[in-house]
């Protein structure tokens, strides 16, 4: 035994140095930021695809429910509400505006001011639809009159016309 006990050396704990931690954080950030940006972009694409799918469903609903009426006009039968009479275009075009919610459910008619300036009064409205009927220029006496149907489905309804996303659908109808 020695008269002087040995001095205990301070033990060094196993840990990472500040340099190692800084390097690891930088590498993680360099990998994570592009991944997060990609996720944000995919969420935006998913919302856009959902809006386009709803617009197609609204347009298909118009095409399936618009019929010639005995009075010489067209009638549209939305899933909710009374039938909507749409005058046959004749020499001038017929333009009507409608509002739908985010799921594509019919809410009611709108006017040209709502189409141009946005529909701010109805919080439930998300889609605005512009229906335009015109007499087809390619008519012959042997063929019954045809009408060109143009549907523009735009969202969000509260935005002005220039700021909305729009989907355009074209079809032809036999005039009543």
The answer as to whether 11 is a domain residue is no
Q: Is there a contact between 110 and 128 (Cβ–Cβ < 8 Å)?
A: yes
Q: Which two tokens stand for residue 68?
A: 């010639």
- Res. 84 pLDDT band, cuts 50 70 90: confident
Host domain of residue 77: 48-174
Q: How far is the CA of 74 from the CAs of 69, 131, 167, in angstroms?
A: 5, 12, 23
Q: Count of CB atoms within 10 A of residue 152's CB?
A: 20
pLDDT digits (tens, 9 = 90+) for 55-73: 998 888 888 888 877 777 8
pTM for this entry: 0.70
Q: Which two tokens stand for residue 103?
A: 């799921």
How many domains does the chain fold into?
1
Q: Count of CB atoms within 10 A of residue 39's CB?
A: 10
The answer as to whether 23 is a domain residue is no
**DSSP strand pairing (84-86 vs 74-76):** antiparallel
The answer as to whether 26 is a domain residue is no
The answer as to whether 104 is a domain residue is yes
């Amino acid at each position: 035994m020695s008269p002087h006990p040995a001095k205990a050396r301070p033990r060094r704990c196993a840990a990472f140095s500040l340099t190692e931690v800084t390097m690891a954080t930088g590498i993680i950030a360099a990998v994570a930021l592009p991944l997060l940006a990609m996720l944000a972009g995919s969420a935006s694409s998913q919302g856009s695809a959902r809006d386009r799918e709803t617009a197609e469903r609204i347009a298909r609903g118009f095409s399936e429910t618009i019929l010639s009426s005995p009075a010489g006009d067209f009638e549209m039968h939305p899933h909710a509400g009374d039938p909507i009479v749409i005058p046959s275009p004749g020499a001038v075009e017929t333009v009507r505006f409608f509002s739908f919610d985010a799921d594509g459910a019919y809410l009611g008619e709108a006017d040209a001011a709502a189409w141009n300036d946005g529909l701010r009064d109805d919080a439930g409205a998300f889609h605005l639809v512009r229906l335009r009927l015109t007499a087809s220029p390619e008519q012959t006496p042997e063929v019954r009159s045809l009408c060109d149907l143009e549907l523009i489905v735009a969202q969000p309804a509260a935005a002005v016309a220039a700021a909305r996303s729009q989907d355009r659908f074209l079809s032809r109808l036999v005039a009543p």
